[in-house]
Amino acid sequence: KSTIFYLSHKTLLAFSLFFRCLSPNFAPMKSIFYTILLFLFAASPLSAQHYVDKFFANIPPQVLSIIDQTSRLDMIDLYNNNMQAQAENLYGGMSRIQKKSDYFIDVKLTESSTWQMRIMPSAHDTLIVCVHSLTANGTSSTLRFYKQDWHPVKHDLVMPTFSHFLTSKPHLSAARIQTLESELKLLPVKITLDEKQPLVIFELSTEALTITDKADAKLMLKPLIFDLLTNKFVEKAEKKDVVNN
């Protein structure tokens, strides 16, 4: 991007931080400034590495309410300018962009929750894949799909059941397998999006297990990988062969 474009965003960021510090008496001026900021952001030519930015900036409140649009715009500018990309959320804590690439973003919402998003452009309609995870005695995740206008869309992906996570021949006694299975069936499903490839990874969350149970569970369980390009589950060995998006 050009130097002028880079400096304009640095300037906008500086003004943004300045206006956030103003008293409530300057609310009308702040409102006008953020309207201008959003217009300039939307009108600016986005390079490939910033394709995900416009989607993150325009998430509707009913999809992600904890970070308002002004804070998300600040976070994007901070990250793109190699600064710590964090902003105050609606709970009074700090939310932070942890990773961002062409079509992927990973956000730490709170100390116990994260938000991941992957954009899947297509000739017909862009698909937005979102994962919201909450950690409390294990990590449980919610997977949602949206059109580019943020309307929910049904997907062919069938959520895996407990039996799908089991390996075929774990090197454990039959008694140990039976005992451990009763615990593993209660574990929540953790879902993550691969940073570099259009893959959805499903795992049973074993964080709450004891060290011994966790070690044995590793022999009994396997992650499940869903390829968003082919719309099917793939073996772990195939992961490296999936075309990058």
Average pLDDT (118-122) is: 91
pLDDT higher at 133 or 10: 133
φ, ψ of residue 107 to 5 degrees: the values are -120, 130
pLDDT band of residue 123 (cuts 50, 70, 90) is confident
Nearest to 48 by CA among 71, 80, 75: 80
Asked if residue 47 has pLDDT above 50, the reply is no
Contact (CB, 8 A) for 89 and 65 = no
Average pLDDT (184-200) is: 96
Q: What is the pLDDT of residue 235?
A: 81
Asked if residue 29 has pLDDT above 80, the reply is no
Q: What is the pLDDT of residue 26?
A: 53
For residue 152 the two structure tokens come to: 């929910």
pLDDT band of residue 2 (cuts 50, 70, 90) is very low
Sheet holding 189-193, edge to edge: 189-193, 199-204, 224-227, 232-234
pLDDT band of residue 122 (cuts 50, 70, 90) is confident
In a 3-state reduction of DSSP, which class is residue 147? Answer: strand
Distance CA 95, CA 100 (A): 14
φ, ψ of residue 117 to 5 degrees: the values are -145, 135
Share of the chain above pLDDT 90, in %: 71
Q: What is the pLDDT of residue 145?
A: 97
Distance CA 78, CA 72 (A): 10
CA distances (Å), 66 to each of 43, 56, 83, 90, 176, in order? Answer: 25, 13, 21, 5, 43
Q: What is the pLDDT of residue 50?
A: 74
Distance CA 55, CA 119 (A): 8
Q: What is the pLDDT of residue 3?
A: 34
Contact (CB, 8 A) for 219 and 172 = yes
Q: What is the pLDDT of residue 8?
A: 42
pLDDT band of residue 13 (cuts 50, 70, 90) is low
Average pLDDT (200-212) is: 96
- How do beta strands 127-135 and 232-234 pair? unpaired
Asked if residue 17 has pLDDT above 60, the reply is no
pLDDT band of residue 132 (cuts 50, 70, 90) is very high
Nearest to 97 by CA among 89, 88, 109: 109
Average pLDDT (32-46) is: 51
User: Mind listing the pLDDT tens digit for each residue in 153-190?
Assistant: 999 899 999 999 999 989 999 999 999 999 999 999 99
Distance CA 216, CA 177 (A): 9
Look over the chain and give the mean of its residue pLDDT values, rounded to a whole number: 84
User: Mind listing the pLDDT tens digit for each residue in 72-96?
Assistant: 999 999 999 999 999 999 999 999 9
Q: What is the pLDDT of residue 101?
A: 92
163: left (phi over 0), alpha (psi -120 to 50) or beta: alpha
Give the chain's end-to-end CA distance (angstroms, integer).
22
Average pLDDT (216-243) is: 81
